[in-house]
């Protein structure tokens, strides 16, 4: 069937885009780990310059390097995603892309008419519109990719733009306060979490464009023996990991440094004292090297919940691994083992983050490990939902093909 | 009527009788060890501006426990109001990628001049948390003119930071009258021309906490000794 034809270049390209998104998460992680999210105080311009024309002397200055590289890298990922969307969407995507690109271009040019403060944003939107328009007018008349890939492509297309906007708002609205909370913090947390989901989406596209996925087919054999794949547990564990990532993003974006700086104990105890006197004591005795805000009882509690969450996740993944070991499918067994090892490494990185007093590179590795753990959970869950891995006693692969 | 006149005269006279409050703040106990600011030393530009690796200055303590960087404020001075608009500016310098001074105090509306003496761009970012206060966030290139800002709401330890070099930070306590001082490296302070009377004097250190005591200031001034305990 042509519908399921494997396109090796599309798959390689999808993998490349996913890897670039992982790189973007890493650089974004470095921005937050170094506490330099506001090193470039304007957006989409950089110190008043066009983002793509910032002098190198400024780009290479202190924290500007991380923040501006994040912006540049994000722009590249944006272009790559538009191309990916056009590729998986096929010729059917041309018309919508032309319309969307045209509208963005026109709105972008119109925005500066509202006032000088809209000039940068307007030109930025025009730039996006130009790229989208270009994708719509490319000559290639390829067929759409099979299955849900065009829909996933469109999702990535909108998500990357929303993600860029959130990143910009995190800077522009940093000083604004809503309901007692700085909007910079709120948008930073959303931006961090959505970035993880965006990466997941790109990995799903990479998976679904793979030969393995396309040629394996779907088992809908209702008469088959019910398999032993713990789908509910896999999904619940993945959801737990995402909750853990939200907690992590919340901790990181409060810019208070480590709320607890010892491990496995917490301020010398198995459960830390969170009274006002104790919090005052913690703040008085810590010597912060960077401009961290004073820690609060809520932040201490948040880190403890994160620690408990880590134990729960490790236990859940260990159970998933034990269940997947009984699967007849070698891929699932390997993925289960990989997930367990990854979560184990991630727990180690979490401990190392504390022991290193939140060294930026270690904390960022912890973020990347979290992203990979989430992706693996999603991919295993999707594979388990897609295929019917019937359990058997032998080591052979019994996943059946619908065809 | 005579009583009213007498009270007005007494009040007027008291306001004319003013003295200086002097004193010392001492730290009892051992301050936590300061940390080396390794990111500064590792920075390509800032690292060349310092010899050795600078340390944090959360506690600046003399040999006998004299504690610097404490903000001393006299509370409840009758009729006290900010003279910030006409006061001399507070000058803060960014030198060798460190804010100098690390702790300072200003009146509401008093001009704060921020210099950049470094051959590198900095970013001056204030984070007041008082209701209605707004942030100041401006990049300052090397060789750029001084920045000027005011803080308009009373607040303890408003953070100043450089987002480009996140180890650079300082704190400013904002007071809505002129009766305050910051202790020097010998732990000493002087608050000039305080109207005679009995007041509560509060001392605040960002790490060691706060303490206060009642102090009487007469025509020849007053003295007060404070002790804060290391946590």
Asked if A34's CB is within 8 angstroms of B166's CB, the reply is yes
Q: Which residue has the higher pLDDT, A308 or B131?
A: A308
pLDDT at B146 over 70: yes
Q: Which residue has the higher pLDDT, B41 or A122?
A: B41
Which residue is closest to A278 within chain B, CA to CA?
B231
Give the closest residue to A349 by CA, choosing from A310, A318, A304, A379.
A310
pLDDT tier for residue A403 given thresholds of 50, 70 and 90 = very low
pLDDT tier for residue B141 given thresholds of 50, 70 and 90 = very high
Backbone angles phi, psi at B19, to 5 degrees: -135, 175
Cβ-based contacts of B32 with chain A (< 8 Å): 284-287
Which residue is closest to A360 within chain B, CA to CA?
B39
pLDDT of residue A330: 86
Q: Output the pTM of the full model.
A: 0.88
Q: What is the mean pLDDT of residues A250-272?
A: 92
Asked if A47's CB is within 8 angstroms of B208's CB, the reply is no
pLDDT of residue A389: 59
Residue keyed to tokens 């942030």 = B135
Cβ-based contacts of A283 with chain B (< 8 Å): 207
Asked if B161's CB is within 8 angstroms of A287's CB, the reply is no
pLDDT at A386 over 90: no
pLDDT of residue B83: 95
| Average pLDDT value for chain A | 89
Q: Which residue has the higher pLDDT, A68 or A216?
A: A68
Asked if B32's CB is within 8 angstroms of A286's CB, the reply is yes
pLDDT tier for residue A391 given thresholds of 50, 70 and 90 = very low
B25, B67 contact by CB (below 8 A)? yes
Q: Which residues does residue B22 pair with via DSSP β-bridges, in sequence order?
A: B190, B223
Q: Quote the radius of gyration of chain B (alpha carbons, Å).
A: 20
Interface predicted TM-score of the whole assembly (ipTM), two decimals? 0.83
Pairing of strands B169-175, B155-161: antiparallel
A84-102 core/surface letters (b: 16 or more CB in 10 A; e: else): bbbbbbbeebbeebbebbe
pLDDT of residue B54: 94
- CA separation for the pair A329, A401 (Å, rounded): 13
Asked if B138's CB is within 8 angstroms of A175's CB, the reply is no
3-state secondary structure of B12: helix
Angle between helices A183-208 and A8-34 (to 10 degrees): 160
Mutating which of A56, A273, A289, A363 best tests the B interface, going by the most B Cβ atoms within 10 A?
A: A289
Cβ-based contacts of A62 with chain B (< 8 Å): 43, 45-46, 120-121, 162, 164-165
- CA separation for the pair A235, A377 (Å, rounded): 8
Asked if B135's CB is within 8 angstroms of A284's CB, the reply is no
Cβ-based contacts of B138 with chain A (< 8 Å): 41
pLDDT tier for residue A217 given thresholds of 50, 70 and 90 = low
**Among A58, A285, A291, beta carbon nearest to B161:** A291
Backbone angles phi, psi at A162, to 5 degrees: -60, -40
pLDDT of residue A65: 96
Q: Which residue has the higher pLDDT, B11 or A134?
A: A134
pLDDT tier for residue A231 given thresholds of 50, 70 and 90 = confident
How many other C-beta atoms can be found within 10 angstroms of the C-beta atom of residue B90? Answer: 19
**Among A62, A281, A291, beta carbon nearest to B159:** A291
Write the secondary structure of chain A as one string of H (helix), E (strand) and C (coil). CHHHCCCHHHHHHHHHHHHHHHHHHHHHHHHHHHCCCCCCCCCCCECCECHHHCCHHHHCCCCHHHHHHHHHHHHHHHHHHHHHHHHHHHHHHHHHHHHHHHHHHHHHHHHHHHCHHHHHHHHHHHHHHHHHHHHHHCCCCCCCCCCCHHHHHHHHHHHHHHHHHHHHHHHHCCCCEECCEEHHHHHHHHHHHHHHHHHHHHHHHHHHCCHHHHHHCCCCCCCCCCCCCCHHHHHHHHHHHHHHHHHHHHHHHCCCCCCCCCCCCECCECCCCCCHHHHHHHHHHCCCCCCCCCCCHHHHHHHHHHHHHHHHHHHHHHHHHHHHHCCCCHHHHHHHHHHHHHHHHHHHHHHHHHHCCCCHHHHHHHHHHHHHHHHHHHHHHHHHHHCCCCCCCCCCCCCCCCC
- CA separation for the pair A263, A307 (Å, rounded): 10
pLDDT of residue A2: 47
pLDDT of residue B131: 85
The DSSP H or E segment spanning B6 is helix B2-16
How many other C-beta atoms can be found within 10 angstroms of the C-beta atom of residue A162? Answer: 14
Q: List pLDDT tens digits, range A82-91.
A: 999 999 999 9
Q: List pLDDT tens digits, range A312-344.
A: 999 999 999 999 988 877 888 999 999 999 999
Q: List pLDDT tens digits, range B156-191.
A: 999 999 999 999 999 999 999 999 999 999 999 999
pLDDT at B12 over 70: no
Cβ-based contacts of A60 with chain B (< 8 Å): 44
pLDDT of residue A227: 63
């Amino acid at each position: 069937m042509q519908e399921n034809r494997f396109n090796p270049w599309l798959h390689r390209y999808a993998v490349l885009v996913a890897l670039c998104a992982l790189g973007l998460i890493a650089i974004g992680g470095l921005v937050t780990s170094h506490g330099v999210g506001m090193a470039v105080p304007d957006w989409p311009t950089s110190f008043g310059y066009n983002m793509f024309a910032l002098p190198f002397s400024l780009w290479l200055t202190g924290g500007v390097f991380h923040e501006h590289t994040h912006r540049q890298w994000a722009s590249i990922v944006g272009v790559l995603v538009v191309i990916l969307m056009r590729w998986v969407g096929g010729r059917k995507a041309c018309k919508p892309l032309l319309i969307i690109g045209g509208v963005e271009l026109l709105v972008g040019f119109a925005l500066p008419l509202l006032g000088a403060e809209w000039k940068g944003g307007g030109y930025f939107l025009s730039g996006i519109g130009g790229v989208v328009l270009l994708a719509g007018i490319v000559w290639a008349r390829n067929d759409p990719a099979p299955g849900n890939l065009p829909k996933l492509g469109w999702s990535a297309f909108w998500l990357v733009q929303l993600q860029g906007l959130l990143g910009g708002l995190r800077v522009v609205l940093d000083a604004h306060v809503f309901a007692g909370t700085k909007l910079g913090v709120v948008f930073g947390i959303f931006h961090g979490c959505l970035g993880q989901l965006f990466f997941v989406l790109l990995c799903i596209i990479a998976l679904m464009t793979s030969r393995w996925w396309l040629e394996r087919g779907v088992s809908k054999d209702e008469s088959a023996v019910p398999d032993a794949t713990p789908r509910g547990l896999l999904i619940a564990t993945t959801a737990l990991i995402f909750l853990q990532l939200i907690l992590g993003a919340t901790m990181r974006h409060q810019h208070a440094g480590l709320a607890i700086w010892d491990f496995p104990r917490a301020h010398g105890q198995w459960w830390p004292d969170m009274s006002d006197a104790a919090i005052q004591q913690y703040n008085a005795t810590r010597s912060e090297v960077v401009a961290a805000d004073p820690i609060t009882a809520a932040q201490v509690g948040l880190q403890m919940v994160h620690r408990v969450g880590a134990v729960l996740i490790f236990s859940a993944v260990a159970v998933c691994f034990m269940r997947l070991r009984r699967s007849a499918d070698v891929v699932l067994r390997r993925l289960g083992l990989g997930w367990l090892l990854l979560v184990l490494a991630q727990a180690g990185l979490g401990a190392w983050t504390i022991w290193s007093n939140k060294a930026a590179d270690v904390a960022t590795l912890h973020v990347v490990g979290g992203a990979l753990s989430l992706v693996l959970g999603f991919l295993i869950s999707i594979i388990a939902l897609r295929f019917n891995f019937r359990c058997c006693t032998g080591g052979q692969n019994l996943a059946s093909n619908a065809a | 009527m005579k009583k009213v006149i007498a009270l007005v005269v007494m009040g007027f006279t008291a306001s004319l009788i003013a003295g200086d409050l002097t004193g010392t703040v001492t730290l009892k106990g051992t301050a936590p060890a300061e940390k080396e600011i390794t990111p500064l030393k590792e920075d390509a530009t800032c690292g060349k501006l310092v010899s050795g690796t600078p340390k944090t200055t959360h506690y600046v303590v003399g040999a006998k426990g004299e504690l610097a960087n404490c903000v001393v404020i006299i509370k409840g001075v009758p009729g006290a109001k900010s003279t910030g608009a006409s006061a001399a500016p507070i000058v803060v310098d960014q030198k060798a990628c460190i804010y100098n001074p690390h702790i300072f105090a200003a009146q509401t509306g008093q001009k704060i001049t921020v210099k950049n003496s470094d051959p590198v761009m900095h970013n001056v970012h204030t984070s007041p948390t008082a209701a209605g206060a707004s942030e100041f966030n401006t990049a300052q290139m090397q060789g750029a003119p001084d920045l000027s800002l005011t803080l308009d709401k009373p607040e303890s330890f408003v953070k100043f930071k450089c987002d480009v070099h996140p180890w650079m930070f300082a704190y400013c306590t904002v007071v809505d009258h002129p009766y305050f001082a910051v202790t020097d490296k010998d732990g000493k302070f002087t608050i000039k021309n305080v109207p005679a009377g009995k007041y509560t004097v509060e001392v605040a250190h960002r790490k060691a906490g706060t303490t206060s005591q009642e102090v009487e200031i007469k025509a020849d001034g007053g003295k007060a000794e404070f002790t804060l305990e290391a946590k």
